[in-house]
């Protein structure tokens, strides 16, 4: 009996002291990725891959159940997979949502590329997603007023909220509420999207949530300069997890940490965070983790990725059989990021136009392609395969050889230059701008001369440059290549050109 009483007393004491163990401190972990367009590893399988990210996620969950997974915008588009058709419909991000559902994302922000897809397609992706979205400054335009975007499930509409709150607790009973705010760069105007001022909405959403939670974090998709301004406007944010830029960065503005990982999950930021309820202080220790071939793939997520990759590879092999062959090694990154590719001559743009000339045995005076045809919004590094080229030019199309009057060629080049910042900006081969004059092959354009120019077929349809089409009387002839010719598919031309460059070394 005495033994039982002693045991009972000890049990009571243990329970009593365990209840008092609450130290008012709690640790939690954030995993941040941003600007992810490819679900599978890239660069010959060396970097990225959502199945690898999930392995890191699961390992961190085992270490601390209070681990949250975030994506700071840009994932529905652009992607090579998104352009193919399955059951008669273009995929348009469906593959990404399926993978992200399996990974149990805790929160995602809207990126500007989410609005590349149509309103109907975006609504389908929202409805399919099992994870929460957040935005304070993007709304759905209706005929009368702008309303929040929403998910529709079982006939019920659930509005996307301006803020997000999550309550967590640890083993000793410490509980806190964590708040999140989010804004998106208004760089993709669409008829169905309304953008509020991102700085006004960031401050307003913070003010609306700060008294309901213990600590607030940012999950944004804006330029780094905008993130820095937000950090100055809201100096009590311990951390802003950002997107939009594709190169990893870590900045500190006052006490605010701003982090961005590399695009396509080449890296992920891991934030180990401690919060003290008594002092109301937040400590953030951030580590940039490379997601490479040394990270094992999570089998559940890998199965979904493999399903989609099988569909993709089968489509590519219809055009290029050896789709996983290393055709080139880029020691200097080939720049296909949206902003430079639509505003300045990049090495990737020059490579593509050189390949267009190569497709006609360099028997053309010049070659031109619009920046909007280059859809990768990323940089290519290291080993390059045909799959990478398909990622760069997912829509393909033939290269046409055009006899064009110098007067019209100059108008086209002027238009492309003035269109800097849009998809109509032109990348050029054998064409230079010297002060205000255009030169082809080192000679100033003669308005009365006829030039032979390789164009992407898209340009000859008049979508980007309205006066450039085969209907213009100064377009004297247009040669469309046969299916057996290299120029029949611009992607085949680029692959062949890179292989030739590799073999010439």
Residues 6+ apart with CB under 8 A from 273: 27, 28, 29, 30, 238, 239, 282, 283, 284, 285
Tell me 337's DSSP state.
Answer: -
**What whole-number distance in Å separates Cα of residue 81 and Cα of residue 142?**
30
| Residue of 259, 243, 270, 249 lying closest to 110 (CA atoms) | 243
pLDDT at 332: 94
Residue 16 confidence (pLDDT): 47
Asked whether residue 278 falls in the same domain as residue 176, the answer is: yes
In eight-state DSSP terms, residue 114 is G
Domain of residue 67 covers 24-290
The answer on 356 and 277 residing in a single domain is no
Instruction: Please check the confidence at residue 144 and state whether its pLDDT lies above 50.
Output: yes
The answer to the question of residue 398 being in a domain is yes
pTM of the predicted structure, to 2 decimals: 0.84
Segment 138-164 shows an average pLDDT of 95
Domain-located, residue 68: yes
Mean pLDDT for the stretch of residues 75-87 = 89
Which residues of 34-74 form beta strands (DSSP E)? 67-71
3-class secondary-structure state, position 360: coil
In this structure, are 228 and 329 located in the same domain? Answer: no
Residue 65 within any structural domain of the chain: yes
Residue 11: which pLDDT band, with cuts at 50, 70 and 90?
low
Predicted pLDDT at 505:
67
Give 339-379 pLDDT, tens digit per residue: 899 999 999 999 999 999 999 999 999 999 999 999 888 88
238 with 330, same domain: the answer is no
* Residue where one domain finishes, among candidates 239, 266, 290: 290
Average pLDDT value for residue range 81-98: 92
Domain presence at residue 176: yes
Mean pLDDT of the chain: 93
Residue range 312-333: mean pLDDT, rounded = 89
pLDDT tens for each residue of 391-405: 999 889 999 999 999
Q: Are residues 274 and 390 in the same domain?
A: no
Q: Is residue 19 part of a domain?
A: no
Tell whether 272 and 175 lie within a shared domain: yes
Residue 273, token pair as written in the block: 């965070």
Alpha helices in 393-486, H assignment, sequence order: 406-418
CATH of the domain at 367: 3.90.780.10
CATH number of the domain enclosing 171: 3.60.21.10
The structure tokens listed for 478 are 């247009």
Give whichever of 177-181, 320-324, 432-436 has the largest mean pLDDT.
Answer: 177-181
Is residue 244 domain-shared with residue 355, that is, in the same domain? no
Which band of pLDDT confidence, cut at 50, 70 and 90, is reported for residue 382? confident
Domain termination site, one of 269, 290, 311 = 290
Identify whether 222 is part of a domain: yes
**Cα–Cα nearest to 389, from 173, 80, 176, 99:** 80
Residue 443, in any domain of the structure: yes
CA atoms within 13 A on the CB side of 452: 10
Instruction: Say if 8 falls within a structural domain.
Output: no
Give the pLDDT score at 504: 73
| Residue 9 burial (C-beta neighbours within 10 Å; 0-12, 13-18, 19+) | exposed
Q: Per residue in 404-427, pLDDT tens? A: 999 999 999 999 999 998 899 999
pLDDT band with cut points at 50, 70 and 90 for residue 17: very low
Co-location of 275 and 327 in the same domain:
no
Phi first, then psi: give them for residue 496, nearest 5 degrees: -65, -40
CA dist 389 and 387 (Å) reads 5
Say if residues 391 and 489 touch (Cβ distance below 8 Å).
Answer: no
327 and 407 in one domain? Answer: yes
Please give the Cα distance from 39 to 35 (Å, whole number). Answer: 11
| Residue whose tokens read 């997603």 | 129
Q: How far apart are CA 139 and CA 97, in angstroms?
A: 20
* 111 and 172 fall within a common domain: yes
Pairing label, strands 437-440, 431-434 = antiparallel
Instruction: Specify whether 262 is located in the same domain as 354.
Output: no
How do residues 35-69 score in pLDDT, each as one tens digit?
999 999 987 788 999 999 999 999 999 999 999 99
Show which of 290, 311, 340 is a domain's final residue.
290
Instruction: Looking at the structure, tell me whether residues 133 and 70 fall in a common domain.
Output: yes
Only one residue has tokens 């995929």, namely: 91
The confidence band for 249, taking pLDDT boundaries of 50, 70 and 90, is very high
Beta bridge mates, 440? 431, 443
Q: Can you give the pLDDT at residue 280?
A: 96
Distance CA 179, CA 209 (A): 7
Neighbouring C-alpha atoms within 13 Å toward the C-beta of 477: 8
State percent of the chain over pLDDT 90. Answer: 81
Q: Sorting pLDDT into bands at 50, 70 and 90, what band is 13?
A: very low
- Residue with token string 């392995």: 55
Give me the number of domains the chain comprises: 2
Our CA angle for 78, 81, 84, nearest 5°, is 110
């Amino acid at each position: 009996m005495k033994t039982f009483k002693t045991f009972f007393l000890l049990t009571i004491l243990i329970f009593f002291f365990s209840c008092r163990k609450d130290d008012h401190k709690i640790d939690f972990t954030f995993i941040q990725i941003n600007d992810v367009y490819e679900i599978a590893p890239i660069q010959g399988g060396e970097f990225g891959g959502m199945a690898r990210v999930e392995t890191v996620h699961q390992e961190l969950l085992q270490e601390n159940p209070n681990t949250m997974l975030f994506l700071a915008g840009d994932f529905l588009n652009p992607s090579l997979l998104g352009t193919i058709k399955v059951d008669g419909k273009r995929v348009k991000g469906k593959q990404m949502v399926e993978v992200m559902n399996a990974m149990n994302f805790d929160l995602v922000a809207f990126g500007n590329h989410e609005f590349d897809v149509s309103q109907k397609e975006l609504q389908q992706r929202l409805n399919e997603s099992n994870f929460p979205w957040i935005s304070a400054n993007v709304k759905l335009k209706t005929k009368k007023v702008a309303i929040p975007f929403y998910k529709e499930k079982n006939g019920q509409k659930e509005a996307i909220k301006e803020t997000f709150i999550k309550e967590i607790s640890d083993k000793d009973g410490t509980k806190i509420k964590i708040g999140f705010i989010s804004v998106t760069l208004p760089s993709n105007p669409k008829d169905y999207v309304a953008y509020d001022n991102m700085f006004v909405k960031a401050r307003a959403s913070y003010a609306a949530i700060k008294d309901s939670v213990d600590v607030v974090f940012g999950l944004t998709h804006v330029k780094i300069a905008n993130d820095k301004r937000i950090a100055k406007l809201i100096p009590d944010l311990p951390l802003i997890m950002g997107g939009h830029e594709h190169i990893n960065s870590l900045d500190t503005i006052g006490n605010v940490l701003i982090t961005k990982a590399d695009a396509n999950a080449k890296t992920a930021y891991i934030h180990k965070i401690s919060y003290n309820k008594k002092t109301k202080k937040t400590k953030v220790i951030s580590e940039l983790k490379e997601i490479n071939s040394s990270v094992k793939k999570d089998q559940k997520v890998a199965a979904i990725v493999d399903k989609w990759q099988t569909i993709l590879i089968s489509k590519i092999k219809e055009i290029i059989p050896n789709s996983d062959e290393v055709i080139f090694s880029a020691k200097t990154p080939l720049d296909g990021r949206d902003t430079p590719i639509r505003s300045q001559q990049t090495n990737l743009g020059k490579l593509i136009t050189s390949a267009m000339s190569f497709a006609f045995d360099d028997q053309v005076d010049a070659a031109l392609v619009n920046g909007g045809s280059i859809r990768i919004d990323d940089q290519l590094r290291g080993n390059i395969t045909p799959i990478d080229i398909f990622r760069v030019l997912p829509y393909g199309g033939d290269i046409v050889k055009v006899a064009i009057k110098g007067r019209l060629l100059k108008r086209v080049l002027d238009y492309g230059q003035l269109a800097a910042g849009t998809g109509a900006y032109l990348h050029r081969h054998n064409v230079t701008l010297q002060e205000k004059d255009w030169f082809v092959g080192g000679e100033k354009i003669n308005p009365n001369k006829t030039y032979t120019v390789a164009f992407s077929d898209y340009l000859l349809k008049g979508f980007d440059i309205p006066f450039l089409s085969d209907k213009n009387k100064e377009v004297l002839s247009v040669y469309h290549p046969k299916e057996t010719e290299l120029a029949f598919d611009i992607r085949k031309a680029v692959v062949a050109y890179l292989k030739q460059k590799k073999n010439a070394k």
